[in-house]
Amino acid sequence: MANFEIKAKDGLARLGRFSTKHGTVKTPLLMPVVHPGKSMIPPRDLVDVFGFQMVITNSYIINSHERFREKAIAEGVHGLLEFTHPIMTDSGTFQMYFHDLPEEEIDPIAIIEFQKKIKTDIGTILDAFSRPDVGREQVEKDVDLSFERAKMSVGIKGEMMLAGTVQGGIFEDLRERSAQAMGRLDFDVFPIGGVVPMMEMYRYADIVRVTLAAKKHLPPDRPVHLFGCGHPMLFAQAALLGCDFFDSASYAKFADSGRMLLTSGTVHLKDLTELPCECPICSNTTADELRSLSQEERSLALMRHNLYVSAAEMRRVRQAIADGKLFELAAVRARSHPSLLEALQVMTENMKQLTESDPFGKSSSIFYTGPETALRPEISRFHERVIDRYPFRTTDTVIIVPDIGERPFSDTASTIIEEVRKRSPEEAILLFFTPMGVIPWECEHVHPAQQCIFPKTVDPDTLTLARKRLLDILDMISFNKIVWFERESPTNQIVNNLGIDKKITNTTSASETISKLAEVKAENVKWHLRKLKALLTYQWGGNVEDIAAIEGLQVVFSRSTGKIRHVTIEDEIIFTVVPTTGLLTPTFRGGEILLQYKIDDRFIVTMERDAAEFVADGKSALAKFVMNASSKLKAGEEVLVIDEHHQLLGTGRALLSGSEMLIFDRGVAVNVRHSKHG
């Protein structure tokens, strides 16, 4: 049974909880490497002083030294380390690679039995390490050998949790093959191995490629461990790729050579005139004072600094996931080294994989960090949804208003908006054109339409992508003319190279723009229903757009913001609009209407009989009781929860994707907002 549950997601990153016999830990997490005989810092201090939750030590080293082995067998590895929190043990694979030991040095079955004997929380198989510089033929042999050992090892793990390492060198297809094979076995954690030499050679782009390749095929209900990743400047990007566990011996190795870890890289103490951070070490001494210490005292002080910095960065990563801001943190960290920036660029080339996992309905602001910003999952998905679901496809006039997006459109284009409200979509469609792309007026309050903060000067790649997105929108709309309202915005210049056949009329004022529109033809235009129709289709597709035409339906607006607040029928609220996302949340009555209007099955989650009454009473829908959910359902979507007889139990927000709901047996699948008996 899996011991992992997800609390929040951002890109491929997961904020989760992992349960062991010695406690539950929050992920992503960093495990300091503890040498059983050389630790200058007591393992318990790693928790009590620095805030770590778990450590990793080496079962091969323990087994190779009689004094360690006897105590570990007698008292367990926890007794050996005098540590009461979770412990993971490595098998010695890296030592075999690093010291070029013969293959028979470690028996793959004996090392599993030893890890069981010393009662580690998570043991690790003895895999075959592939260096980045070896040829494909050898790497294939290593992958096959690792899998053979994995099959033997997993069958004897007993009650011990076991980590099955994915190998494959720098070859993405071999990483995929290894992950597919390992993913079918009953492992509790999936490390991605063989990456330490890549880190030492600054081949971060290769790490991105092999990690993404492996993630495609690993079970989502098991943590992924990026073996040997211990530098804080890489944590954010690796977490964004979906890595949950990290381990670090760097804090000690770097300290021994007089080096200090920072989130922006590594510095040598000998080169410093000032200490570079606000940790307790740097805040209470000087560079000169550190240099004057004995070798042992200096190493200990630098070790402590490295631990403080690493622990703080991992906390920062977890908070960024909770806030939906991890992409920004990774982008900022990538600017600290050209190889990290190259890795970020490789990640953006594979943005579809991140977008598929990224939760829908996020609400955090998006700050421009560079060309990668416009490719972010939230922005890309918004564009894709507009292309796929925008309900108004035929019009006389398309009005394009370039805008930087720093203020509400209702402030910067109020006169034009008032004029569009008088007209039907067949008469005029209003598009705001920002660096993130095109925002139809009807979707002006949907995240991230007005949450993107761009500078007044943006890079050429962002403008090129914005132009493509505008052309995508124009290609889907049948229109007679375009009126382009020239304004001060980075996107305004694109009018000069738009390259479309139909004539564009340029205007320089709101009044001139309005003068280019035909006289109002439609009578009693209900613009609020036009907006509601666009929202319904943006969220749930065209099946439910006719809800906007229900007799007696009323749209209630906020007096302070002008945004839709509620949708009612006969004074009963059926939808509420979340101010931070601009999206509809259905009440129980709203859920009944969505079912009546044949909402797509992808937005329906079916519960087992045993859990139906709990959900009907307003309890969360737990993943282990989900009977059916669509593979197309994304985390964050507003869904309907029904029983096996298709009776509505409640409505709420999916915390997992549909595929994850069917795989996970721990945690919440749907956070129920409104229920049958609630």
**Which tens digits make up the pLDDT trace of 89-98?**
999 888 887 7
SS3 216: coil
Q: What is the pLDDT of residue 192?
A: 97
Check which CATH number belongs to the domain holding 458 and give it. 3.40.50.10630
Judge whether 615 lies within some domain. yes
Residues spanned by the domain of 206: 4-349
- Answer yes or no: do 135 and 20 share one domain: yes
- Answer yes or no: do 611 and 496 share one domain: no
Confidence grade of residue 560 (pLDDT, cut at 50, 70, 90): confident
**448: closest CA among 547, 344, 375?**
375
Instruction: Count Cα neighbours of 293 within 13 Å in the Cβ-side half-sphere.
Output: 17
- Answer yes or no: do 662 and 563 share one domain: yes
Q: Which two tokens stand for residue 446?
A: 């949907």
**Which tens digits make up the pLDDT trace of 257-310?**
999 999 999 999 999 999 989 999 999 999 999 999 999 999 999 999 999 999
**440: closest CA among 472, 481, 464?**
472
What's the average model confidence in pLDDT over 475-502?
92
Check which CATH number belongs to the domain holding 104 and give it. 3.20.20.105
Q: Considering 287, 320, 349, which residue would you say is the last residue of a domain?
A: 349
- Answer yes or no: do 207 and 283 share one domain: yes
Judge whether 271 lies within some domain. yes
Q: Which whole-number Å values give the CA distances from 90 to 34, 194, 254, in the listed order?
A: 11, 13, 21
Higher pLDDT, 116 or 99: 116
Please check the confidence at residue 624 and state whether its pLDDT lies above 80. Answer: yes
Please check the confidence at residue 670 and state whether its pLDDT lies above 80. Answer: yes
What's the average model confidence in pLDDT over 64-89?
96
Query: What domain count does the chain have?
Result: 3
- Answer yes or no: do 482 and 414 share one domain: yes
Confidence grade of residue 14 (pLDDT, cut at 50, 70, 90): very high
- CA 639 – CA 63 distance, rounded (Å): 53
Percentage of the chain beyond pLDDT 70 is: 100
Active site residues: 90
What's the average model confidence in pLDDT over 650-669?
97
Please check the confidence at residue 1 and state whether its pLDDT lies above 70. Answer: no
What's the average model confidence in pLDDT over 144-151?
96
Range from 101-115, 181-195, 470-484 carrying the lowest mean pLDDT: 101-115
Range from 51-55, 517-521, 528-532, 596-600 carrying the lowest mean pLDDT: 517-521
**Which tens digits make up the pLDDT trace of 337-367?**
999 999 999 999 999 999 999 999 999 999 9
What's the average model confidence in pLDDT over 386-414?
95
Q: What is the pLDDT of residue 315?
A: 98
Q: What is the pTM of this model?
A: 0.95
**Which tens digits make up the pLDDT trace of 285-299?**
999 999 999 999 999
Q: Considering 319, 349, 379, which residue would you say is the last residue of a domain?
A: 349
Judge whether 545 lies within some domain. yes
Average pLDDT score over the chain: 95
- Answer yes or no: do 411 and 327 share one domain: no
What's the average model confidence in pLDDT over 375-402?
97
Place of tokens 């004022």: 509
Check which CATH number belongs to the domain holding 566 and give it. 2.30.130.10
Judge whether 548 lies within some domain. yes
**Which tens digits make up the pLDDT trace of 170-189?**
999 999 999 999 999 999 99
Judge whether 646 lies within some domain. yes
Which strands sit side by side in the sheet containing 572-577, from one edge to the other?
Answer: 553-557, 564-569, 572-577, 584-586
Judge whether 173 lies within some domain. yes
The pairing of beta strand 87-90 with beta strand 55-58: parallel
Confidence grade of residue 522 (pLDDT, cut at 50, 70, 90): confident
